[in-house]
Every structure is written in C-alpha cells, then in structure tokens.
Amino acid sequence: MTSLDQLARTDIAFLNWRDPAHPDAGGAEAYCWEIAKRFSAAGAHITLVSASCPGAPAREYRDGIRIVRAGGTFGVYAAAARHLLRNRHAYDAVVDFQNGIPFFSPLFTPRWTADICVIHHIHQHQFDLRFRWPLNAVGRVLEKQVSRRVYRGRPMVVVSPSTREGARRELGFGNPIHIVPNGSPHAVSDAPDGERSGTPAITVVSRLMPQKRVDLLVRALPELLRRTPDLRVDICGDGPERDRLAALAEELGVASAVVLHGHVSEERKEELFRRAWLTVVPSVAEGWGLTVIEANAEGTPALAYDVPGLRDAIKPGVNGWLLPSSADLADGVGAALDELARPETRTSMATRCRSWAAAFSWDASAERLAQVVLEDLQRIHRHRRSRRRASDLSVVTRFTARDAEATERALRRTLRGTDVWSRDGDGFRLLLHGCDEVRALEALRRLDVREATVTLAGGRDVLVGTASPPRETTTRKGPGGVRP
C-alpha cells in the first residue's frame, strides 16, 4: 500500500497564494495543483485555500478538490488564517506552500495537526525587486526570523537541493528538510523530431516578471541576429514586463524576430517547444525550473545561468548548458545554437533531454509528499519525536540477506515513510534519507545485517528518489514506522 493510499479519508488543507485559475499562476501553482489532484484521487479530502481573482467564484469544486478563494494578493494570508481558525478541528494536516512569505499555519491549528511547509525558492534577495523599504525589509524578516520560529521542528519540503541549501544557509532552518521535485508535465514522447524547425528557433515560457530577466535575451538578439539572421524567438507568458519587452524589441530593431504570444494553452506550449532548438531561462534564480523539464519532455535542451534551482534542473552535456553568472548571454546562446546547427547533435540532445525528463513524474512527487505528511501524522499520533536528527545527508546501502523474506518483512515494518528500498532476489538496496553512514550501519545492525556497502547518495539519487536499482527490480516504499 502506498503512502497516498494510506492518506485516504484524511482531511488536508492546501494553502497556496494562487490557484491555477489565477491570471498570474505559474510553476508554483502547477506544483500545488498537480499534487492536490493526486491526493484527492487517492481518497483524501482536499481543500485548497487561495487568493480570489476576477471571474473566479469564491467556492468551487474541481477535480475532486474544494477551492476556497478569499482575499487579494496580501489579504489571502488573513483569509487563510480565518479559515483555519473557523475549521480548527477539521483538518488532519495542512500543507503550507510558501511563496516568499508562508501562511504560518502552525499559529492557527491544534498541536495534533501535521503542518508541512513547502518552499520553492528563497526570496531574501528578491524582495528588493518587488518592494521598496520598509516592505522589502518586512518580507525578509517574515521569511527568515519569523518563519524559523513558527515552523521550528516541523518538516519542511523543498523542490531542489539548491532550495535546501538556501533554507539552511540563508534562512537558518534546522528542521528536517525533504526534497520533492516537480514532475514532468506529461508522458514523455519518444517520437522523432518531425516538428523541429529547420531554422534556429528559441521558445521561452515564463511569467514576465523582473526577476525572470527575459529582457536579457531580447537585449542579446541584435548580436544573435547578426550571427544567425533567420533566428526566431517565441516568448510565451504574461506579466507586468510584457509591454516593456515589446517596447525594448522595437527600440533594438529586433521586433520582427520576436513574437510575444501572451498566455498560451498547454497544447500550444508543447507545440512551440517541439518546434524550438533551444529554451533560454535567464532568471536570477529558481526553485527548480519547471520550464526546463517541460522543454526537455519535448526533446528541447535548455540554457540558463548557473544559479540556484536551474543548476539542479540542467545537467550540462545532458539536457542543456549552464553559463557563469558573469557570462555574456549572446555568446552563450550563440555557442549553443552553433552546436545545435548539426542535425545529429539536435537528435542526440533530444534523446538525452527526454531521458532526463522521464526521471520525474507528478505521481512520484505526490507519493513523496504523501510520505512526508504520513510520517508526521504517525509521529504526532505516537506523541514522540523522530529518533533521526535533522540531516541533509542520504546514503545508499547494498547487502545480501540470509533470509530475504524475513528481511523484507522487517523493512516494511521498520523503515520510515520517506526511505526507499528495492529487492533483487536476495539482494537489497536502501536509500535512507536524513542520516549518515554511521547511523545507517546502526540501522542495519538492528536488521541483523552484518555485511553491507554504505555510500553517500549522489545528487540524482536524492532528486529522483531511488537508489538506482537495476531495470528489472521493483522499487518499494517503506510504509513508515520505527525510524533508524
């Protein structure tokens, strides 16, 4: 039985700044909605509390989810607090999606409610881009000092190793932190690149906000068009920067090479990605970079600066290119287009991109978040703290069992929900989160395992959430219980 199955009939509130109907919805809203849908499909009773927006009703049921819309951009925080207080005994768990400032749900829920905070990326350096003093300073204090106090000891979820590093280094969180990445937007196609443009084409999908820095690509176009006169750039998305980007393209004399599509449908977005040679993400930072995986799923590589989040989503030589922060964007994009000018390079890169995107799925992400929720519910019901101290280390251990059936029963009984194991005959592989080699060996001794190899998990193991078992093995999730 999966962790999602075990959450059936539980009542869970999802708190998010916006819902997918909001005109400014982006990757964070996609993350929340895709996981909420899967929780609901598994039998959990989900209520999504988000900000009101023009044309959307205050109450709505969609995909099995009850949507409650109230408050505006900032009023939604007070509205969510009122909702939790009025329904103080209604929810078993609250999943609080932080978009710069969290909802501080532990202040409004009973102590027996599991409160999990999900962080996409750290905003300490971005508040200055959106607010003037003193609001920018207030935002930093709320995200850092106040959040650290309110969520002390509670489980946190981040979407990438970069966000985990930022939560430790910039925010000073000492909580247990779990990585649950974004999923791939749809089933990855293995079809040939029949729709790929015969001439260089770039597709950008982004909310048009200052921190996304799409203007850097527009400013690079005069040089890029000098090198590649037939280059075309499609920019999909809307936001306050759209008019400025259109004016900038006119000013630089590159408007004929740029199409600002505004908001597009999923089908149109996929079509433009399939057509493109490259997607460019010049953002100052991301939590993960969902648009990278969306492009990769269509066989399109990505280019970005080596900044938090994007350095996790892009593996140079596999699915794209990373530029140093000081690099000239025109030079970087030009070099990538020169490589992609060879059809064989486009074909081989498309294969690697699809393979990378296929490693992620919303089903897997929903199951991993369910593991975190279930684990905290079990901790609360047992009235005790986790035995495993907060740690960002993960280990992979391999061993052969003398009695494989007995070992399997023990693993099902003793591993915690966020750990992963696989079996191949008498051989076992375990991916243990939140512990080092010494504590892993202690756990193995309790399982009566005397000989095992124990190594620190690699980045791919942590992101994908498996111990990279052989293809024929079945990966299984521990159902929770006594923790090593």
- For 338-390, what is each residue's pLDDT tens digit? 999 999 999 999 999 999 999 999 999 999 999 999 999 988 887 654 444 56
Identify which of 169, 84, 77, 79 has the alpha carbon closest to the alpha carbon of residue 122. Answer: 169
Token pair of 159, please? 């979407």
Identify which of 172, 181, 157 has the alpha carbon closest to the alpha carbon of residue 14. Answer: 157
d(CA 310, CA 291): 10
CA distances from 426 to 406, 412, 422, 446 (A): 11, 16, 11, 18
Pure H helices in 151-241 = 161-169, 214-227
Residue 291: strand, helix, or coil = helix
Specify the DSSP element, H or E, that contains 270: helix 266-275
**Comparing 3-179 with 201-358, is the CATH topology the same?**
yes
Residue whose tokens read 């996304």 = 212
d(CA 48, CA 257): 41
Residue whose tokens read 């997918």 = 20
- pTM value? 0.80
Structural fold of domain 3-179? Rossmann fold (3.40.50)
d(CA 257, CA 253): 9
d(CA 20, CA 38): 15
Tell me: cis bond preceding 23? Omega within 30 of 0 counts. no
Residue 181: strand, helix, or coil = coil
Question: Could you tell me what percent of the chain has a pLDDT over 70?
Answer: 92
Q: What DSSP character marks residue 325?
A: T
Task: Please state the φ and ψ torsions of residue 226, each to the nearest 5 degrees.
Answer: -65, -40
CATH 3.30.70 fits 389-477, yes or no: yes
Specify the DSSP element, H or E, that contains 372: helix 362-381
As a whole number of Å, the end-to-end CA separation of the chain is 21
Q: What is the pLDDT of residue 419?
A: 85
Give the number of residues written for the chain: 484
Q: Give CATH superfamily name and number for 201-358.
A: Glycogen Phosphorylase B; (3.40.50.2000)
Task: Specify burial of residue 396 (Cβ count, 10 A radius: 0-12, 13-18, 19+).
Answer: buried
Q: What is the pLDDT of residue 189?
A: 56
Residue 354: strand, helix, or coil = helix
Q: What is the pLDDT of residue 191?
A: 54
The sheet with strand 302-305 has its strands ordered as: 279-281, 302-305, 320-323
Q: What is the pLDDT of residue 79?
A: 96
Region of 299 (left: φ > 0; alpha: ψ -120 to 50; beta: rest) is left
Domain ranges across the chain: 3-179, 201-358, 389-477
Q: What is the pLDDT of residue 193?
A: 61
Residue 406: strand, helix, or coil = helix
**237 Cβ partners below 8 Å, 6+ apart?**
204, 205, 206, 207, 208, 261, 262, 263
Identify the segments of the chain with pLDDT beneath 70: 185-194, 383-390, 466-484
